[in-house]
Structure 1
Amino acid sequence: MPDTRGSIVIGWDIGGAHLKAAWAEDGRLRDAVQVPCRLWQGMGELDAALTTVLERLPVNADHVVTMTGELVDLFDDRAQGVHTLIDRMAAALPQGRLRVYAGRRGLLSPQEARGQVMDVASANWMATAAVVSRLLPAALLVDMGSTTTDVVPVRDGAVVARGVTDHERMAVEELLYTGLTRTAVMAMERTALVAGERLPMMAEYFATSADLYRVLGRLDEATDQHPAADNGAKTVAASLRRLARMVGHDADDYDPAVWRAMAADLTERQLRRIHDAACRVLSAGVPPLPVDAPVVGAGVGRVVVKEVAARLGRPYHDFCDVVGAPGQDWVASCAPAAAMALLG
């Protein structure tokens, strides 16, 4: 059968909270885009996101897709999620021009992929790591997104992760449920540092990690694409109010510097968690990664990944630089989609 693939490839990453796409022409990445997609609220969210993204992409292109959205509680199980997402993408895109990423099985037709649910499910991290492994002989990939962080070792030009499925990866800390913008503050720690006291935090969805980075002046607002926890304003004052509420206070109870110190302490503990996970992943390698193997930063949380690299004493390389797209921040923020465009 002749190869009918064209020179333009669009890579898709269907998450539970965002839809990401990147396109490459003749093997060079050109652009990437991320839009919110609250998939747990229904398939209409994906339909709307697809319409928005497709308007910004070349028409005559081949398409390759990876996903993590099969995990949302819209679906009864992963099989239903994978099948539904494959079928929806196949219906929305030109016939015969879609392939689905199935991890170590590679790219499959939609029909083939429906029969390989566990290989298709949540394989986006492997796509990013596979591209890194083609370009660097050794590295530690750390992709900090809005919700999760992946820590993946590459050695001798191969991905050497210990886990594959979500539960395997969580067990060895190659997958952490902590991110730059969407993580509920109540899930980050049990206590917060407030005016010299460690106060218990309420088990309420009052604030997110975006609030922490906003009050510290470290948040690129373009990366925070979902409503605030209270559906309120995305301002420093509103974020201070949400953080104070986490410990039963009003923002005016203390000087704003107190709430900034609370945010700094919580982000420091998030950084330590990622650093400690990276140390664990590195310690599991036999043989270990070379001491000069870089940390490759991807995702919207690369500002945090840079700090992890510094604490590890390793050089830092941005994913967009590794894949030959310097300065294209959204390529690095949408790394799995960009990887799909290159793998396709």
Structure 2
Amino acid sequence: MWQVNKKIKVLGLDIGGAHIKYAVAQNQKALLKRKIIPFEIYRTPKKLAPLLKAICKEVKPSAIALSMTGELADVFVTRREGVKFILNAAVDAFGGNAINVLTVKGSFVSVSVAMKQTELVSAANFMATVLYTASIVDNSVVVDIGSTTTDILPVINWSPAILAHDDLGRLKSGELFYGGYLRTNASSVLQEISIGKTKVGTCPEFFATVGDAHLYSGDITAKDYTCQTPDGGPKTKRGAGIRLARLILSDPQTLSAKEIESIARQIVKAQTEKIADAIKKLIVKRKMQNAKILLTGAGAKVYRVKLARMIKNPFPGKVNGIKVENISPASASATKLLSAYLGAE
């Protein structure tokens, strides 16, 4: 343990399968910095430790609040193997004594405990989000739209009201939707595409992503496209159009720009409806018709207006003076750990 003082700098670190997200908290819960680093762990797992070392060199943290979801990447045979790999990379970068690992119960444990009880820390990042939210608002549903998945987390009477603590259980309870704004395979979102008055079956290949539809429609820019494209091609409107056309075994020489635009709109509409339906089901199931919807995550700006048109609940930009967009596992875990060191909990 470090001596409790206001100079403690906590690094909240969330290691996912496609991105590393971090936040820095210091001086009585002041959030100093947030950053998202594209890193698809399944492609180059050995680069994780050097990347974490670079973050350590930049931030120079006193303590680390670590959460993860990257252990599910298919480069690992089991979750246990993935958890241990990530923990070892973190120890290599930061040293074991500095690391506090978030659990699915919302507490922190040492690396040695996490190594022995990997199921306790696997995919636990959502707990930081829901616990922090429960401390600032009484009734709400946190909807964290990421590149790959969407967390739908209920808070009732200032308390987390989640029903499950593992991914399968959360899928069953409706608190996890496996779809996001970027990496989701477009063919899984829309099985049929309308071209004029004709419906064509979407080819079940990884030809395009939801991100391609957003890029073509102008919802996001190349900077927002923080993963590799399915074909390795450019993150441009033209590149996205090529990939979208392949969904129906065509190309931009055969399809008009208007037809490709229609494909993009249909995919965006279908994904928005899927996310909205998942939120609505939880609202009805948990009787939260009047709860605030706290939309956060990298995909929030893409879907905020669209979802607000489909769901009657209020979508505030701030709660208790705090910007909703700043609510994330990394920032929440950093704030939680800093509070513990400062004796605020």
Task: Check conservation: 1:180, 1:210, Cα contact below 8 A.
Answer: yes
Q: Does residue 296 in structure 1 map to residue 294 in structure 2? A: yes
Q: Does residue 343 in structure 1 map to residue 344 in structure 2? A: no
Deviations 1:62-94 (A, max 9, x none): 111000011112222111211221122122104
Task: Check conservation: 1:13, 1:21, Cα contact below 8 A.
Answer: yes
Deviations 1:184-226 (A, max 9, x none): 1122221122223221111211111111001111014322122
Q: CA deviation at 1:339?
A: 1.1
TM-score (norm 2): 0.90
Q: 1:80 to 1:63 in 2, by over 3 A?
A: same
SS at match of 1:253: coil
TM-score (norm 1): 0.91
Residues matched between the structures, number: 334
Q: CA deviation at 1:130?
A: 1.0
Percent identity of equivalent pairs: 26
* Long gaps (5+) in structure 2: 338-345
Q: CA deviation at 1:290?
A: 5.6
Q: CA deviation at 1:23?
A: 0.5
- 2:335 alignment partner AA: L
Deviations 1:38-62 (A, max 9, x none): 21124323124324433442x1421
SS at match of 1:30: strand
After the TM superposition, which residues 1-344 of structure 1 pair with which residues of structure 2 at under 5 Å, given as runs?
A: 3=3, 7-26=8-27, 27-57=29-59, 59-104=60-105, 106-285=107-286, 288-289=287-288, 291=290, 293-302=291-300, 303-318=302-317, 321-322=318-319, 326=323, 331-332=326-327, 335-344=328-337
Q: CA deviation at 1:323?
A: 7.9
Task: Check conservation: 1:102, 1:116, Cα contact below 8 A.
Answer: no
Task: Check conservation: 1:36, 1:49, Cα contact below 8 A.
Answer: no
* Long gaps (5+) in structure 1: none
Task: Check conservation: 2:106, 2:131, Cα contact below 8 A.
Answer: no
The farther-off stretch of 225-234 and 305-314 is 305-314
Task: Check conservation: 2:56, 2:93, Cα contact below 8 A.
Answer: no
Q: 1:190 to 1:128 in 2, by over 3 A?
A: same
Task: Check conservation: 1:12, 1:21, Cα contact below 8 A.
Answer: yes
Q: 1:119 to 1:324 in 2, by over 3 A?
A: farther
CA distance in 2, matches of 1:267, 1:60: 40
Q: 1:338 to 1:38 in 2, by over 3 A?
A: same
Task: Check conservation: 1:11, 1:22, Cα contact below 8 A.
Answer: yes
Deviations 1:214-269 (A, max 9, x none): 11110143221222111111111111111011101111223212111111111111
Q: CA deviation at 1:325?
A: 5.8
- 1:297 alignment partner AA: L
Q: CA deviation at 1:311?
A: 1.9
